[in-house]
Amino acid sequence: MWFNSQFKTQNKQLMNLINKINSHSAVIGIIGLGYVGLPLGLEFAHKGFKVIGFDVDEKKIPVLNNGESYIKHIKADRIRAAVDAGTFHSTSDFSKLTEVDAIIICVPTPLNEHREPDMTYIVNTGEMIAKYLRKGQLVVLESSTYPGTTDEVLLPMFENAPEFQNSKLKCGVDFYLAFSPEREDPNNPNYNTATIPKVVGGVTPACLEVATALYNQVIVNTVPVSSTKAAEATKLLENIYRAVNIALVNELKMVFDRMDIDVWEVIKAASTKPFGFTPFYPGPGLGGHCIPIDPFYLTWKAREYDISTKFIELAGEINTMQPYYVIEKTMEFLNNQGKTLKGAGVLILGASYKKDIDDMRESPSLKLIYILQSKGAFVDYSDPYVSKLPPTRHFKFDMSSVDISKESIASYDLVLLSTDHSDFDYELIAEHGKLIVDTRNAFEKNGIKRESIFKA
């Protein structure tokens, strides 16, 4: 009888939480207010949920609470509307975690200098949650990570939460835990947070049920899978696919270069096959927080199982080589003109890691600047979305964006296009640039072919 009544209590708790979610009266806590957490929090806020945003970066809090944005593609209007409506409030006071019904973790999962997972953010966040965890809460991890993270890292933290030392909490009974990978694609014209289907895996069936109920309120479609590790593996597969295919075309670029075949022409022609082919494009290196990083989470975990991930290793090798290859080809190009990099004035066009966004994370432009400087070039950059180069863990350049004009373009020995922003005036640059290296085929795509432009 005791057992039965305990079951009923638990069941009631689960039903309560689901009802609060379905009626949008649940309070949502988002930990990590960056490229993933901020738009997700805004989705909930705009659906009428009360959202509390948490971030350890105290500088962000007043900005957000003032209705301003620090990410180009997330409009301040959208933040301000939610703040004014009283549905979105940010804080760095994690004790307020006790006020929320669901906690969604959107913290970074970078690599350390030895290409190993840096779990600091997840572990610190987990510890913080464990400190304030209360019965009936749902916790969902969204950060891309190796299969097993939710079960092996977070679950024991929560089941052994300090407050409940004497009566350990049980997942799926006292609290709910799930993994649901973010699939943000900044600036994608066709899809946003709300319209990209969301994969969800729960530690238990109850965890899955409540987590899918939550996302169903704001996401077009949820895709339940059998376990948290299946959900973790799904995100890795998506990004491994991209990292490997980008590396593949980067390798083929190097092969076709030798054969005097234009890889861009070949990719364009192959793209006319109406099935069985998806184009990927070469570039000066991988950027962003996902593609260069996520795959190595699997590599690291696989070692525990005595197995290696050779495609990922090879992709890493080829992609890491790209900025060096671009500079090597650039030096060949200059050499043919009887010039050297040493002493040359070089303007890098584009600082962000992909076109039309302001995201500098892992941008290959920084690596290009570093290599160029190390070879004795004088380097400037120009990017309409990045007025100053932010310091990163690897690079601390004190540089500001140069305005593009006839005169400024003409003043450099070499212009090197790293990021193909749509806003660049390609005609003007082609007209006035002495020598141009194009790593994105951007000039040709804009209908410009000149002797002075070299594709590297």
Please state, in angstroms and rounded to a whole number, the distance separating the CA atoms of residues 395 and 181: 29
- 205: contact with a copy of itself by CB under 8 A: no
Contact present, 245 and 283 (Cβ < 8 Å): no
- 306: contact with a copy of itself by CB under 8 A: yes
DSSP assignment of 175-229: BEEEE------TT-SS--GGGS-EEEEESSHHHHHHHHHHHHTTSS-EEEES-HH
Nearest to 94 by CA among 124, 63, 62: 124
- 452: contact with a copy of itself by CB under 8 A: no
Please state, in angstroms and rounded to a whole number, the distance separating the CA atoms of residues 414 and 401: 16
Q: How many residues bind a copy of itself (CB under 8 A)?
A: 63
Contact present, 54 and 99 (Cβ < 8 Å): no
Given 265, 332, 423, 427, the residue binding a copy of itself (CB under 8 A) = 265
Nearest to 319 by CA among 423, 242, 375, 404: 242
Given 254, 331, 399, 402, the residue binding a copy of itself (CB under 8 A) = 254
- 334: contact with a copy of itself by CB under 8 A: no
- 301: contact with a copy of itself by CB under 8 A: yes
Site track 145-164 with a copy of itself (rule: CB under 8 A), x = hit? --xx----------------
Please state, in angstroms and rounded to a whole number, the distance separating the CA atoms of residues 454 and 337: 12
Please state, in angstroms and rounded to a whole number, the distance separating the CA atoms of residues 358 and 285: 17
Residues 6+ apart with CB under 8 A from 420: 350, 355, 440, 442, 445
- Active-site residue 171, yes or no? no
Among the listed ranges 43-51, 154-162, 268-276, 353-361, the one in contact with a copy of itself (CB under 8 A) is: 268-276
The rounded radius of gyration (Å) of the Cα atoms in the chain is 25
- 374: contact with a copy of itself by CB under 8 A: no
User: Which residue is associated with the tokens 């609060």?
Assistant: 20
Among the listed ranges 26-34, 41-49, 161-169, 261-269, the one in contact with a copy of itself (CB under 8 A) is: 261-269
> Is the CB of 71 or the CB of 223 nearer to a copy of itself?
223
Rounded to a whole number of angstroms, the minimum distance from the CB of residue 160 to a copy of itself is 24
- 86: contact with a copy of itself by CB under 8 A: no
Please state, in angstroms and rounded to a whole number, the distance separating the CA atoms of residues 340 and 338: 7
Strand duo 102-105 + 176-179: pairing? unpaired
- 326: contact with a copy of itself by CB under 8 A: no
Given 261, 328, 343, 396, the residue binding a copy of itself (CB under 8 A) = 261
Joined together, the tokens standing for residue 255 give 């092969």
Joined together, the tokens standing for residue 324 give 């060096």
- 231: contact with a copy of itself by CB under 8 A: yes
Given 1, 86, 167, 310, the residue binding a copy of itself (CB under 8 A) = 310
> Is the CB of 15 or the CB of 270 nearer to a copy of itself?
270
> Is the CB of 137 or the CB of 180 nearer to a copy of itself?
180
Given 74, 155, 194, 196, the residue binding a copy of itself (CB under 8 A) = 196
Please state, in angstroms and rounded to a whole number, the distance separating the CA atoms of residues 38 and 414: 39
Contact present, 47 and 23 (Cβ < 8 Å): no
Given 21, 213, 240, 347, the residue binding a copy of itself (CB under 8 A) = 240
Given 85, 307, 410, 428, the residue binding a copy of itself (CB under 8 A) = 307
Identify the helix (H) or strand (E) that includes residue 328: helix 310-336
- 449: contact with a copy of itself by CB under 8 A: no
**Torsion from C-alpha of 439, 445, 451, 455, nearest 10 degrees:** 20
What does the binding site for a copy of itself look like in residue numbers (CB under 8 A)? 147-148, 183, 185, 188, 190-191, 195-197, 199, 221, 223, 225-227, 229-231, 233-234, 237-238, 240-242, 244-245, 247-248, 251-252, 254-256, 258-259, 261-262, 265-267, 269-270, 272-278, 298, 301-302, 305-307, 309-311, 314, 317-318
Return the active site residues.
290
